[in-house]
């Protein structure tokens, strides 16, 4: 059973349920097509990370974006 992890920053309130469903469906279809495997067992996990918890070069994305 494939488990596909998607991590993304939570921006402007985060992704909607519809967006997440479309993303999971698209990833599942692409996986099935590329690997010629059934999509019925594919698991997609979507994790939204608050920009206060995402750091580059020791600074949070929140702070880096405020600098711009």
Confidence of residue 68 (pLDDT cuts 50, 70, 90): confident
Each domain of the chain, given as residue ranges in start order, spans: 3-67
Among candidate residues 1, 2, 10, 37, the one labeled active-site is 2
Three-state SS for 26?
helix
CA-to-CA distance for 42 and 22, rounded, in angstroms? 14
Pick the CATH number of 3-67 from 3.30.1330.60, 3.30.2420.10, 3.30.429.10, 3.40.640.10: 3.30.429.10
pLDDT tens digits for range 9-67 = 998 889 999 999 999 999 999 999 999 999 999 999 999 999 999 999 999 999 998 98
2 is catalytic: yes
Query: Are the beta carbons of 60 and 27 closer than 8 angstroms?
Result: no
């Amino acid at each position: 059973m494939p488990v596909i992890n998607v991590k993304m920053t939570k921006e402007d309130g985060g992704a909607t349920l519809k967006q997440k469903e479309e993303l999971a469906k698209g990833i599942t279809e692409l996986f099935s097509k590329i690997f010629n495997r059934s999509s019925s067992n594919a698991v997609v996990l979507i994790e939204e990370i608050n920009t206060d918890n995402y750091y580059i070069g020791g600074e949070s994305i929140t702070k880096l974006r405020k600098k711009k």
